[in-house]
Amino acid sequence: MMLALVGGTHRTVPLALRERLVFSADQAIDAMRRFRERFPGREVVLLSTCNRVELYSAGEQSAGPPPTDQMVSFLAECRGIEKSELAGVLDGQLDEGVVRHLFSVASGLDSMVLGEPQIIAQVKQAWAIARDSETAGPLTGEMFSAALRTAKRVTSETSIGRERLSIPSIAVADFASGVFERFDDKQVLLLGAGKMASETLRYLRTAGARDILILNRSRSRAIDLADRLGATSGAWEDLEQQLQSADLVVSTTGATKPIVSEAMFSRAFSRRCGRPLVVLDLAVPRDFDPSIGRRPGLWLYSIDDLGAACEANRKSRQRELPAAIAIVDEETRRFMGDLHHRSSGSVIERLRADWSETGDTELERLFHRLPKLDPAEKSEIRQAFERYANKLLHPPMESLRSASHAGPPHGLLDALKRLFDLKD
């Protein structure tokens, strides 16, 4: 075993538990460093988004990745969750299963919205954080690099993702539009100023929204987003007041607990004089206390409420799915073949070294017996020896390369070791 994965997604982990499992960037850095301390020599990358938490580990020879049950225990410990709560909701994968899964994730084939473009940036960010934290390594580096290459192929060779559908687009088109026939006369309150907020703002603009106010704890980020996309910004301290006047609220913050409590919302809602309000809570953990949803005139949707609409989106793109899966399978076979071939590298190196040493010994013996050879003649003879050795080594090397594409070439490696008396 060289690669291992444990993780869960929106399909297996309930939202309430996903909220407790999610890692911020700083928490991910701390977790990966603790992982390296507990499992020395292992590589690790942690991918945490609103819809998935996945821990990837890699290692070679005696420092292979830890068993998946230990990885589950580690995740539970990091988030202060009983391991028993994660039983049945976190899946484990090994070696080829890890590669195929990551390639599918990066290509948007495992997303709530099939082909959604945000996931590729999230995969890049997770890998970058691991590199900067020095918890990634050659194996995870090659795997994540190959995943990005696979995603690029899926995007360029199929129509999946070309319509650029995403969670924000479906939230606006399928949910907010289900309540409001038009947006040009609505007051929109956007909470957060990250990538999700930016994309949501673009879709709102396309849908006709004009009056859009952005609130963010960092006022400078709210101002920057508002300036770039033609909205206005306000002070975070005015949140309760703005809830009183908004028609549509879209919340996308990275807060670790609800920013709108039952008490705050009750005060604001009581002053709305019965005007309807739509809240699209796209954050994980949720920004709005879920208990506020039991009110007439309020439509509160969480990210998991988008499931049915996302499934309809998946079915509409199903025709392109076989072609995308074929690309993932092809890239997975290529990567695993290269990975298995790597395992034969030490045998090839020892074989070359032994033959080179034997050749040098015989050449010195020959040159000693033929002292009248000039340097040019000696060089020609040496090159002939090297060409002859390379030709003899070519068939076993090609056999190793070919066998690697079918799986780890352990039998052939053992045969070569015995045949040429190669020592470990």
CA-wise closest residue to 325 among 166, 167, 160: 160
The amino acid occupying position 206 is: T
What are the tokens at 185? 């006369």
Determine the pLDDT at residue 1: 56
For residue 332, being part of any structural domain is answered with no
232-233, strands of its sheet edge to edge:
232-233, 211-215, 187-191, 248-251, 277-281, 298-302
Note the pLDDT of residue 61: 65
| Same-domain pairing of 127 and 185 | no
Residue 157, domain extent: 3-164
- Strand 52-58: give its sheet, edge to edge: 43-48, 52-58, 3-9, 91-94
In this structure, what DSSP letter does residue 173 have? I
With respect to residue 315, please indicate whether it lies within any of the assigned structural domains: no
- Is 325 domain-assigned? no
Query: Are 160 and 173 members of one domain?
Result: no
- pLDDT of 130 reads 96
Residues 157 and 22 in one domain: yes
Q: Cis bond leading into 285, ω under 30°?
A: yes
Can you say whether the dihedral through the CA atoms of 261, 265, 266, 268 is positive or negative? positive
Last residue of a domain, one of 278, 306, 334: 306
CB burial string 385-394: b at 16+ within 10 A, e below:
beeebeeeee
DSSP-derived pairing of the beta strands 43-48 and 52-58: antiparallel
Dist. CA 246–CA 230, nearest whole Å: 18
The residue out of 141, 164, 187 marking a domain boundary is 164
- CATH number of the structural domain spanning residue 227: 3.40.50.720
Per-residue pLDDT tens for 87-113? 889 999 999 999 999 999 999 999 888
Residue 420's pLDDT is 65
DSSP 174: I
Whether 319 is covered by a domain: the verdict is no
Amino acid present at 88:
G
Q: What is the pLDDT of residue 98?
A: 96
DSSP code of 315? H
Characterize the bridge pairing of strands 298-302 and 277-281: parallel
Is residue 180 left, alpha or beta, with left meaning phi > 0 and alpha meaning psi from -120 to 50? beta
Report pLDDT for 414.
66
Contacts (Cβ under 8 Å, ≥6 apart) of 329: 100
Instruction: Enter the tokens of residue 414.
Output: 């053992």
Where does a domain end: 260, 278, 306? 306
Q: Give me the pLDDT at residue 12, please.
A: 92
Tell me, yes or no, whether 109 and 233 share the same domain: no
pLDDT at 424: 58
- Which stretches of the chain drop beneath a pLDDT of 50? none
State the pLDDT at residue 407. 58
Q: Is the domain of 158 the same as that of 293? A: no
Same-domain status, 160 and 171: no
Same domain membership, residue 150 and residue 120: yes
Residues 52 and 118 in one domain: yes
336 domain residue, yes or no: no
Hey, which residues are catalytic here?
A: 50
* Same structural domain, 156 and 10: yes
Provide the CB-side half-sphere exposure for 228 (13 A, CA). 15
Residue 289 sits in the same domain as residue 371: no
Q: Which helix (H) or strand (E) holds 356?
A: helix 345-369
What are the structure tokens assigned to 44, written together?
Answer: 């690790």
Does residue 172 fall inside a structural domain? yes
Say if residues 367 and 394 touch (Cβ distance below 8 Å).
no
What integer pLDDT is reported at residue 373 of this predicted model?
A: 85
Structure tokens at 321: 């799915």
**Structural domain includes residue 45:** yes
Closest alpha carbon to 408 in 102, 3, 134:
3
Contact status, residue 203 vs residue 233, Cβ threshold 8 Å = no
Q: Could you give the number of structural domains in the chain?
A: 3
| DSSP at 89 | T
Compute how many other C-beta atoms are within 10 angstroms of the C-beta atom of residue 92: 16
The CATH number that applies at residue 125 is 3.30.460.30
Residue type, 260: V
Q: Residue 424 domain-assigned?
A: no
User: What is the enclosing helix (H) or strand (E) of 384?
Assistant: helix 375-404
Question: What are the structure tokens assigned to 308, written together?
Answer: 């049915």
Are residue 74 and residue 209 in the same domain, yes or no?
no
**281 close to 200: Cβ distance less than 8 angstroms:** no
Half-sphere exposure of 342 (CA within 13 A, CB side): 13
CB 51 within 8 A of CB 57: no
Q: Are 169 and 203 in contact (CB under 8 A)?
A: yes
Residues 87 and 192 in one domain: no
